[in-house]
Copies of this chain bind each other. A is one copy, B any other.
């Protein structure tokens, strides 16, 4: 009996878009699709996965490759993709669908498994989707049911066999791998991301990347108020972020910032140090945004997470950025939620590398600073000169 079933040759990856793409106007959608295809090609090339073509059809992309499993796992990390399925292509003839489904079921269904058949159809065929589900299900039970102790479970099956019929083609698949979601990288202009290397800033940058904006990481090096391990941590985190942006620049900026901190400590009330520090970071980031033609600044701030991140303090901070918006994607996140994303995207591990906290941070930081107090403190500094000196000493890393 089992001899009749031929070995399946998975030859395709079905690529599904996020739902949001469908509410875009046709012109925007085509631009987004083209960008997505480009990003997919870069990713496959980087991982040396050969493919024959990417076909755009019926609101899906179909990647033709003889390594669909490997390709699927890499494409699942391309922004703009909702999900992928390694699949086998066949014709929409009932016999071909059944034969291919049986062959995939043979490979996939383990003893004791429950299964379901799902069918989606575009075009005119001499059968309904329900016909396919019934017939494929029946034949699987007939061929493997007893031998493998299989059961049908439509609600929570162990394996769902998918049949996707698209006019002249049909695709059979047994798994749906969740993708990164979001929008294709490059469909929004560049942003500058303040990356400390800690959990929050990494997730914040990833979130703006997810929504399509290439985000250039900028690290402020607090040496001698921190150690080299902290810089190394930031670099490792940046590398993980760049792996989500294949085809885009892997440039990171490092700003020497210790001298600025020393000046705050010398000349200003210590409880303002963190606010003064962040305000100058925003100003330097604005200069880098200008240089890199970016359109905004991303930070990992969440309301109330740290003393510098109370709502009154965020207001004081904002006032320092005059030309560019400060984007804070983690604003409403709990720490546990940020951690969950960090684990998913791979920054949790490098962000947890040993790093010395900033020794310039005060024991009792101001939680409700008044803008005028900060302005008075800043009058004792030559802010403009400090910003310019920081920008002049900017280091560039290509990772």
Q: A256 within 8 Å of B by Cβ? A: no
For the complex, give the distance between the alpha carbons of A277 and B389 in Å: 41
In this assembly, does A311 line the interface, its C-beta being within 8 Å of a C-beta of chain B?
yes
- Restricting to A187-208, which residues have a CB under 8 Å from any CB of B? 187-189, 191, 204, 207-208
Question: Which residue from B208, B315, B337 sits with its C-beta under 8 Å from A325?
Answer: B315
Q: Which residue of A304, A310, A337, A367 has the most chain B CB atoms within 10 A of its CB atom?
A: A304
Considering the complex, give the chain B residue whose CB is closest to the CB of A182: B334
A336-B181 in contact given A188-B310, A315-B324, A329-B331 (Cβ < 8 Å) = yes
A20 in the interface (beta carbon within 8 A): yes
A303 part of interface (Cβ distance < 8 Å)? yes
Whether A311 pairs with B191 at a CB distance below 8 angstroms is yes
Binds B, one of A6-14, A161-169, A209-217, A348-356: A209-217
Contact of A331 among B20, B207, B302, B334 (CB under 8 A): B207
Contact partners of A212 in chain B: CB under 8 A: 303-304
Minimum C-beta distance from A4 to chain B (A): 39
Which residues in window 281-305 of A have CB below 8 A to B?
295-296, 302-305
**Residues in B whose Cβ lies below 8 Å from that of A250:** none
A207 cross-chain contacts in B, Cβ below 8 A:
331-332
CB nearest neighbor in B for A363: B25
Give Cα A191 to B312, complex, Å: 10
Q: What residue in chain B is nearest A206 (Cβ atoms)?
A: B332
Tell me if A336 and B188 are in contact (CB < 8 A).
Answer: no
Q: Which of A56-82 contact B (CB under 8 A)?
A: none
Q: Is the CB of B213 within 8 A of A311?
A: yes
A327 proximal to B (CB < 8 A): yes
Measured in the bound complex, the distance between the Cα atoms of B297 and A315 in whole Å is 10
Interface of chain A, main secondary structure: loop
Could you tell me if B183 and A20 are in contact, using CB atoms closer than 8 angstroms? no
Residues of chain B with a CB closer than 8 A to A343's CB: none
Chain B residues near A331 (CB-CB < 8 A)? 207-208, 211, 327-329, 331
| Bound-complex Cα distance A213 to B310 (A) | 10
A20 touches B335 (CB 8 A): yes
Encode A331-371 as 1/0 by CB contact (under 8 A) with B. Answer: 11011110000000000000000000000000000010000
**In the complex, what residue of chain B is closest to A212 when comparing beta carbons?**
B304
Q: In the assembly, what is the distance between CA of A278 and CA of B73, in Å?
A: 41
Contacts of A311 in B (CB 8 A): 188-189, 191, 213, 295-296
Chain B positions within 8 Å of A188 at CB level: 303-304, 310-311
Chain A positions near chain B (C-beta within 8 angstroms) = 18-20, 28, 181-183, 187-189, 191, 204, 207-208, 210-213, 295-296, 302-305, 310-312, 314-315, 318, 324-329, 331-332, 334-337, 367
In the complex, besides A20-B334, A188-B304, A315-B325, 12 extra interface pairs with C-beta distance below 8 angstroms are A18-B336, A19-B336, A20-B335, A182-B334, A188-B311, A208-B332, A210-B332, A210-B334, A211-B303, A211-B304, A211-B331, A328-B331
The 8 nearest A-B residue pairs measured at CB: A207-B332, A329-B332, A211-B303, A318-B325, A329-B331, A188-B311, A295-B311, A181-B334
